[in-house]
């Protein structure tokens, strides 16, 4: 039986994460992700995904120091960024720079040290490229700041507020890992050939670059921009649904109830109700859209997904839309590398079959 896109096919066993689409659960190493965002930092959750357990206080201190030491870009990587044409998109820049990082130290087998290096440096690549394109001075990373706070600092040149840091940290924890999605599958397939960590991550970045995987928050921004221009949100949404248009940010291929990541992001935003017009708009749109979706598509159980509130958070912290997918990539790199490490532990090369539906032509002998 053919399953187009391998939909529903179980290709491996994993202890990294679990998605229960019916119950709306996302679990990292046994922990519900919403509990992790409430009580732990980006660094602690990254440690959990790589090592399989939460760090002790001593382990966390050491781990944070290791991450901070790897933030700076080498001069040759900066030169590569400088030489790239200004009209190349950020995801292509990340793919090129990560590939160029692939020295002999990244041979088989992959290591957590390699994962730390790539995760630590990628926000610096994004910030360096952004300043280069904007023709503004690059802001060097600060070693006294946490991973997410430092990322925002490098982009904007000023310390973010606690609310801004918490909002982006929540987002980056929630998007670290999400099972056998397209980019993670790409990484594992590449690693299964006993290729190196760099090649696996480069494959994943190339997959994430596709708009069907990494581009949804930008579309949600366009949707919210459209409805923000009128006082009658319900009228616009009703018209879209009547015309058979898809509401960006609603529904998910896996979750048949509330996306737990959207719930966690919404809880973060609810703490700021009344402080940001954009966030208030997003909350209003969600209520109206879900009501109308039930009217137009009864029984479909279409709720907000992570992209909807991701877009609201990105807008609230003034994140340039060109950085949405790269920022998603900066968080998902933790999950990719965790899967590469797991693949290497008990490796079998991926080799699915295909069904031939072409012709069989017999040549006439002369």
Q: Is 252 a catalytic residue?
A: yes
Closest CA to 312 of 293, 284, 288, 292: 284
Contact at 8 Å (CB) between 170 and 272? no
**Annotated catalytic residue within 149, 286, 307, 342:** 307
**Annotated catalytic residue within 101, 169, 177, 252:** 252
Q: Is 307 a catalytic residue?
A: yes
Contact at 8 Å (CB) between 254 and 19? yes
Closest CA to 260 of 25, 16, 20, 17: 25
**In angstroms, what CA-CA distances link 330 with 42, 172, 189?**
11, 8, 20
Q: Which residues are annotated as catalytic?
A: 252, 307
């Amino acid at each position: 039986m053919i399953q187009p896109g391998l939909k529903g096919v179980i290709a491996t066993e994993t202890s990294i994460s679990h998605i229960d689409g019916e119950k709306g659960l996302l679990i990292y190493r046994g922990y519900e992700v919403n509990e992790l965002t409430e009580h732990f930092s980006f660094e602690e959750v990254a440690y959990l995904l790589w090592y399989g357990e939460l760090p002790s206080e001593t382990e966390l201190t050491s781990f944070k120091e290791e991450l901070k030491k790897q933030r700076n870009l080498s001069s040759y990587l900066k030169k590569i960024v400088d030489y790239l044409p200004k009209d190349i998109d950020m995801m292509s820049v990340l793919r090129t720079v990560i590939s160029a990082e692939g020295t002999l130290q990244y041979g088989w087998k992959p290591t957590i040290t390699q994962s730390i290096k790539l995760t630590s440096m990628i926000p610096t690549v994004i910030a360096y490229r952004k300043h280069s394109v904007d023709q503004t001075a690059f802001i060097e990373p600060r070693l006294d700041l946490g991973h997410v706070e430092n990322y925002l600092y490098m982009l904007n040149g000023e310390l973010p507020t606690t609310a801004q840091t918490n909002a982006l940290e929540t987002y980056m924890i929630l998007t670290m890992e999400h099972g056998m999605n397209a980019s993670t599958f790409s990484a594992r397939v590449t690693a299964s050939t006993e290729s190196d960590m760099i090649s696996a991550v480069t494959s994943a970045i190339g997959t994430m670059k596709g708009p069907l995987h990494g581009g949804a928050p930008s579309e949600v921004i366009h949707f919210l921009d459209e409805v923000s221009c009128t006082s009658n949100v319900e009228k616009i949404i009703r018209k879209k649904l009547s015309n058979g248009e898809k509401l960006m940010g609603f529904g998910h291929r896996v979750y048949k109830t509330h996306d737990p990541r959207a719930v966690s992001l919404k809880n973060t935003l609810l703490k700021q109700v009344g402080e940001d017009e954009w966030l208030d708009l997003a909350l209003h749109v969600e209520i109206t859209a879900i009501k109308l979706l039930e009217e137009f598509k009864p029984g479909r159980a279409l709720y907000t997904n992570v992209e909807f509130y991701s877009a609201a958070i990105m807008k609230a912290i003034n994140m340039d839309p060109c950085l949405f997918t790269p920022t998603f990539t900066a968080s998902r790199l933790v999950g990719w590398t965790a899967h590469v490490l797991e693949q290497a532990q008990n490796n079998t090369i991926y080799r699915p079959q295909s069904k031939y539906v072409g012709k069989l032509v017999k040549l006439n002998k002369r």
